[in-house]
């Protein structure tokens, strides 16, 4: 049993909405003597369970309509669950619908006091917080103007500043870190990191998977109101990518939706069609340097990546590349069906799971033809290594469009480990390869200028 202190406990929460074919059906049902049902129940949440512990940063990911915002609104008390129970231990600040409580006729200062009072602060407490709020918002003298005159950027800056500066114990964030210009976004992320370092409990919803990977200790994956799983950011992001391309099968009923831990672990690593990870494509090269024996793969298998490897600038197979040198990624792809326009792709991740870079044959305009059943293609990507020294993972895939539908024929995640060998590491992911020139400057004196 986990002895950590619970900050948020969500137990078997369901949220059911009544959907009516016609507006008048709502009245007919309300006054029906026979209690005839004229609505269809829509389950926004289907028996969701979550335990979030004090000091954790937890992410919630899923497609649009999966129930992410609904569960946050239930946690914050904006919505009431149809069934189930939620317990929250600590003061919450929610960055959900920024500025929802602002009065358009009030100026910025008046709205700060209005929102602070709604959050339970006294006027004296708001007085003490006001300088920090105004400094963070940084909208100048506009704070003395009615907010109806604000641009959308100024409005969200002030709303964010109010929400972030009330010293919450639990911070709820729903896509709110992308507000304002790039400089304000950087300030928001810095504040977010401060909260994390202070040991605050953070619940974070975002479609930015790099941010989820960077900040979150654990991640919950939702889809169509069902909790598909929980686990590390890497495992859940990989599972989410299968959901995005329709290659994760949903449970047939609500009981099956409540996955146990062992099922969750299998979900994060098993292929969607029920085949084992270690099929022929994974085995062909499993004894080669850098190949991941536990790679995650899935797809329709209309194309199969049968082998893959790296060569250095001398053409020698390797998984160690010298920074600044040229290297080539090789893929051998066999087609088991007609594919109208296959796209060959690869990407680099760091060991924390952040996708750093990648490309594909469509972007590079290198192959825009169809492939027939039985054909085998040798695909190579050649480029110079400019990543910093360290360990990286390469993922690759064959995808394409069947009409307007995006298809994943075969995708391999974290298939190959690459070590970048470097004797000069700069800041960030890439080397800027700057050419630095320092010259001596001989300055003339003022008297010489006058003489001239």
User: What are 103-123's pLDDT values in tens digits?
Assistant: 889 999 998 998 888 777 888
State the pLDDT confidence band at 447, using cuts at 50, 70 and 90.
low
Greater pLDDT, 183 or 254: 183
Q: Are residue 286 and residue 391 in the same domain, yes or no?
A: yes
Average pLDDT over residues 56-80: 91
Q: How far apart are CA 44 and CA 361, in angstroms?
A: 39
Q: Are residue 227 and residue 340 in the same domain, yes or no?
A: no
Q: How far apart are CA 187 and CA 251, in angstroms?
A: 41
Q: Are residue 407 and residue 314 in the same domain, yes or no?
A: yes
Q: Are residue 287 and residue 340 in the same domain, yes or no?
A: yes
Least confident of 87-91, 169-173, 180-184: 180-184
Average pLDDT over residues 294-306: 91
Q: Are residue 321 and residue 399 in the same domain, yes or no?
A: yes
State the pLDDT confidence band at 91, using cuts at 50, 70 and 90.
confident
Burial label for 362, CB within 10 Å (0-12, 13-18, 19+), is middle
Greater pLDDT, 219 or 4: 219
Write out pLDDT tens, residues 235-284: 888 888 888 766 665 544 443 443 433 443 343 334 333 333 434 444 44
Q: Would you state the torsion angle of the CA atoms of residues 330, 332, 338, 340, taken in this order, to the nearest 10 degrees? A: 0
Greater pLDDT, 175 or 90: 90
Write out pLDDT tens, residues 366-408: 988 999 999 999 999 999 999 999 889 999 999 999 888 899 9
Q: Are residue 412 and residue 329 in the same domain, yes or no?
A: yes
Residue 336 falls within a domain, yes or no? yes
Q: Are residue 208 and residue 342 in the same domain, yes or no?
A: no
Q: What is the pLDDT of residue 22?
A: 82
Q: How far apart are CA 29 and CA 6, in angstroms?
A: 41
Q: What is the pLDDT of residue 203?
A: 92
Residue 136 falls within a domain, yes or no? no
Residue 171 falls within a domain, yes or no? no
Q: What is the pLDDT of residue 2?
A: 63
Give the domain CATH number at 416.
2.70.50.60
- Count of beta carbons in the 10 Å neighbourhood of residue 41: 11
Residue 357 falls within a domain, yes or no? yes
Q: What is the pLDDT of residue 448?
A: 54
Burial label for 123, CB within 10 Å (0-12, 13-18, 19+), is exposed
Residue 398 falls within a domain, yes or no? yes
Q: Are residue 376 and residue 297 in the same domain, yes or no?
A: yes
Q: Are residue 253 and residue 305 in the same domain, yes or no?
A: no
Beta bridge partners of 17: 42
Q: What is the pLDDT of residue 1?
A: 55
Question: Which letter, b or e, does each residue of 334-349 get, where b requires 16 or more Cβ atoms within 10 Å of its Cβ?
Answer: bbeeebeebbbbbbbb
Q: How far apart are CA 445 and CA 4, in angstroms?
A: 71
Q: Are residue 41 and residue 62 in the same domain, yes or no?
A: yes
Strand, coil or helix: what is 47?
A: strand
Q: What is the pLDDT of residue 221?
A: 94
Q: Would you state the torsion angle of the CA atoms of residues 94, 259, 87, 195, taken in this order, to the nearest 10 degrees? A: -40
| Domain count for the chain | 2
Least confident of 37-51, 134-148, 241-255, 371-385: 241-255
Q: What is the pLDDT of residue 176?
A: 61
Beta bridge partners of 377: 333
Residue 291 falls within a domain, yes or no? yes
Residue 155 falls within a domain, yes or no? no
Greater pLDDT, 126 or 120: 126
Q: Are residue 285 and residue 334 in the same domain, yes or no?
A: yes
Domain span at 342: 280-421
Average pLDDT over residues 206-215: 80
- Count of beta carbons in the 10 Å neighbourhood of residue 90: 14
Least confident of 2-16, 77-91, 267-281: 267-281
Give the domain CATH number at 205.
3.40.50.300
pLDDT for 332 beyond 70: yes
Domain end residue (candidates: 243, 269, 295): 269
């Amino acid at each position: 049993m986990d002895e950590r202190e619970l900050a948020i406990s969500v137990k078997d929460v369901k949220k059911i909405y009544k959907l009516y074919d016609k507006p008048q059906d709502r009245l007919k049902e309300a006054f029906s003597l026979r209690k005839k049902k004229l609505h269809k129940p829509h389950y926004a949440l289907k028996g969701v369970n979550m335990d979030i512990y004090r000091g954790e940063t937890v992410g919630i990911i899923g497609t649009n309509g999966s129930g992410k915002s609904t569960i946050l609104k239930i946690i914050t008390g904006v919505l009431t669950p149809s069934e189930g129970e939620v317990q929250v231990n600590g003061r919450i600040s929610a960055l959900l619908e920024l500025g929802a409580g602002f009065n358009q006729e009030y100026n910025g200062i008046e709205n700060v006091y209005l929102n602070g009072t709604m959050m339970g602060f006294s006027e004296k407490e708001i007085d003490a917080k006001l300088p920090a709020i105004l400094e963070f918002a940084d909208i100048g003298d506009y704070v003395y103007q009615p907010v109806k005159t604000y641009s959308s950027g100024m409005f969200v800056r002030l709303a964010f500043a109010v929400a972030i500066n009330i010293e919450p114990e639990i911070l709820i964030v729903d896509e709110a870190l992308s507000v304002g210009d790039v400089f304000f976004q950087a300030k928001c992320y810095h504040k977010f990191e401060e909260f994390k370092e202070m040991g605050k409990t953070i619940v974070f919803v975002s479609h930015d998977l790099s941010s989820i990977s960077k900040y979150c200790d654990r991640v919950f994956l939702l889809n169509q109101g069902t909790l598909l799983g929980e686990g590390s950011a890497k495992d859940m992001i990989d599972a989410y990518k299968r959901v995005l391309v329709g290659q994760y099968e949903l449970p047939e009923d609500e009981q099956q939706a409540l996955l146990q831990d062992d099922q969750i672990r299998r979900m994060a690593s098993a292929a969607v069609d029920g085949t084992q990870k270690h099929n022929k494509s994974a085995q062909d090269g499993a004894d080669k340097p850098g190949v991941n024996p536990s790679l995650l793969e899935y797809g329709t298998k209309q194309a199969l990546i049968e082998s893959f490897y790296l060569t250095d600038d001398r053409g020698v197979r390797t998984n160690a590349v010298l920074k600044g040198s040229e290297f080539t990624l090789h893929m051998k792809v066999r087609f088991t069906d007609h594919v109208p326009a296959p796209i060959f792709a690869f990407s680099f991740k760091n060991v924390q799971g952040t996708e750093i870079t990648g490309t594909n044959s469509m972007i590079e305009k290198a192959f825009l033809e169809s492939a027939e059943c039985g054909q085998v293609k040798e695909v190579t990507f050649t480029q110079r290594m400019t990543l910093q020294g360290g360990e990286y993972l390469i993922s690759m895939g064959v995808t394409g469009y069947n009409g307007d539908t995006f298809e994943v024929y075969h995708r391999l995640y974290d298939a190959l480990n690459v070590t970048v060998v470097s004797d000069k590491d700069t800041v960030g992911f890439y080397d800027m390869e700057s050419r630095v020139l320092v010259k001596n400057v001989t300055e003339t004196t003022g008297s010489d200028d006058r003489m001239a």
